Amino acid sequence: MIKDLAAREDGPVRVSGWVEKVRDQRYVQFVVLRDESGAVQLVNGGVLREADPENPRSDILLARTTTIAELSHGSFITVTGELQHNERVKLGGVEIQIDTIDVVTQALPETPIAKDSSIDHRLDWRFLDLRRPEQNLVFRIQTTFLHALRQVWIDRDFIEVQTPKLMASASESRAELFEVDYFEGKAYLAQSPQFFKQMAQAAGFGGIFEVGPAFRADPSFTSRHATEFTSVDAELSWIDSHEDVMELHEELIVAGLTAVKEKHGEQIQKLFGIEIEVPERPFPRIPLAEAKEIVKAEGYEVPRADDDMDPEGERRIAAHVKKKYGHDFVFLTDYASSIRPFYHMRHEGDESLTKSYDLIYNGTEISTGAQREHRIDVLEAQAREKGMDPAELGFYLDFFRYGVPPHGGFGMGLARVLMLMLQQSSIREVTYLFRGPTRLLP
C-alpha cells in the first residue's frame, strides 16, 4: 500500500494505483499515483522524445516517455522502480524513480466529474466520486463506528438478527409504504424491523440488534430523507422504562464516537477540518412539551398543530442545549400518543403521553426509541384507536398472547449519524448509493 512506502528503506519497489496528476516537463515527467491509502510521486528522469541511435536503451526510454505523456487521469497503472527518500518531496517525503510502467487499464480522457460538480452529477458517477480521499474516509469511519457498536452489543450478550424485508403489512405509517407484486398477491418493503425486533423478545432472545435496510416511500427531497436507508436497530427485554433504552443508546453513541476519534480523528481533522467530540454521559433529557416552551421563550413558536416538533424547533432546542450544557446530543422525551405509533407504551396516569424519545444530534433527529406496550388488551385497543387493520396485524398481536417481558428499543438512521458527525450538508454525501424519489441509478 502506498501509505507504507515512507516507512520502507530505499530500494526496488512495485506499486499500483490510479493516476491522479501528470506533469510532463521537457526533461522530466512526474506522475502522482493514488491508492485507497494515500498518494506518491513517481518520477521519470530518463525522458526521451525521439529515437537516439547512440543510446542502447533508446527504445525503452522512448516507449516509457510516450506512455507517461499519454496517461489519462484515473488510469490504473502498475510501476516498478527505485524508492528514494527525499525531504523536499511534500507528498510523504518519498518518490519513486520509474523503471517500468504497465498501463493496466487506461481511463477515458475526459473525467466526467470534478470536485465542484453538483451532488446530483457526482452521484451519477458515484464510483469516481468515491475515489476522493474524504469519501473513502467516510466509509472507513462508518466501519469503525459500527464495529464499536457491535462490540458493545457483544459485550452485553446481545444476539444479531436479520429480519425479512418483504412483509405482509406496514409496521409504521401506511403513507410511506412501498407495495410490490408478490406472486398472486401484494407484499410491502419493510419500513423498519420493528415487529420482528419485538418478536425476538417474545421468543426469549433478550437483547438483539440489526443493521439492515429500511424502505420508506417518502416523496420528500430533504437533506435527511432517503427512500432506502440503513437502519441501526436494537431491542431489549426486562426494562423498567424508556430510560433503560436511552442508557443503552448513550453507551453505543459514546463507544462509536470514541472509536472514530481514536482511529480517524487526525484524518478527519485534515480532510474535513473538524474535531470529533465525544459526548459526556448522561445526555441531557428534556420532555417535548418543555422543549417547546424553551424555544418559545427564546422567540420561536413551533408551528405544529399535531404536538410534534419541527426541524427548526429541533435546531433551536439543540442550540439551547449546546449553550447551556455544552452538549451535542439531547433526548426529547414523552411525545404525545397522538403522533406516536400504536406500539409505544403510554405513561401510567397520563395516557396522552408515550414513554418514548427522539435523539437529536447537532440539531437533527437521528433516532426514535420507546418502551413498547406488551399488554395485549392495551395494545389491541391502541391499534384500533390508530385505525390499524387487526386482520393484517394478527401475527404481530399473537406475540403478546403467550407471555412477553417488558421491552423497548430504538431505530437509528446510520447516514444521519455520519452526516451530523462529519458536518455534511446531506445524507447523500455519506450514503454509499443514495436512493431517493428520482434516483434509482447507479
Which residue ranges are tagged as binding site for L-aspartate?
Answer: 172, 216, 368, 372
Q: Is 229 in the site for ligand AMO (CB under 6 A)?
A: yes
Residue 12 or 311 with smaller CB distance to ligand AMO: 311
How far apart, in whole angstroms, are the C-alpha atoms of residue 168 and residue 186?
A: 8
How far apart, in whole angstroms, are the C-alpha atoms of residue 163 and residue 190?
A: 9
Q: Is 75 in the site for ligand AMO (CB under 6 A)?
A: no
Q: Is 369 in the site for ligand AMO (CB under 6 A)?
A: yes
Q: For residue 423, how far is the Cα from the chain centroid? A: 12
Among 79, 177, 291, 370, binds ligand AMO (CB under 6 A): 370
Q: Is 411 in the site for ligand AMO (CB under 6 A)?
A: yes
User: Which stretch in 20-28, 158-166, 308-316, 368-376 sits in contact with ligand AMO by CB under 6 A?
Assistant: 368-376
Per-position x/- string for 182-221, each x denoting binding to ligand AMO as judged by CB under 6 A, each - no binding: ----------x-x---------------------x-x---
Among 366, 388, 393, 420, binds ligand AMO (CB under 6 A): 366
Identify any residues that bridge with 407 across adjacent strands, giving them in sequence order: 237
Residue 24 or 243 with smaller CB distance to ligand AMO: 243
User: Which stretch in 43-51, 202-210, 297-305, 367-375 sits in contact with ligand AMO by CB under 6 A?
Assistant: 367-375
Q: Cell numbers 464499536 label which residue?
A: 148
Q: How far is the CB of 191 from ligand AMO (least distance, A)?
A: 6
Among 17, 207, 409, 436, binds ligand AMO (CB under 6 A): 409
H helix count then E strand count, the chain: 11, 18
User: Which stretch in 25-33, 269-277, 360-368, 373-381 sits in contact with ligand AMO by CB under 6 A?
Assistant: 360-368
Amino acid letter, 167 = M
How far apart, in whole angstroms, are the C-alpha atoms of residue 347 and residue 364?
A: 26
Which DSSP symbol is given to 99? E
Residue ranges at the known binding site for ATP: 365, 413-416
Q: Is 243 in the site for ligand AMO (CB under 6 A)?
A: no
Cis ω for the linkage preceding 442 (within 30 of 0): yes
Residue 331 or 410 with smaller CB distance to ligand AMO: 410
Look at residue 51 and give its three-state secondary structure.
Answer: coil
Burial class (CB in 10 A: 0-12, 13-18, 19+), 413: buried
How far apart, in whole angstroms, are the C-alpha atoms of residue 186 and residue 229?
A: 22
Q: Answer yes or no: are the C-beta atoms of 401 and 375 closer than 8 Å.
A: no
Q: Answer yes or no: are the C-beta atoms of 201 and 182 closer than 8 Å.
A: no
Binding site for ligand AMO (CB under 6 A): 172, 192, 194, 216, 218, 225-226, 229, 231, 233, 365-370, 409-413, 416
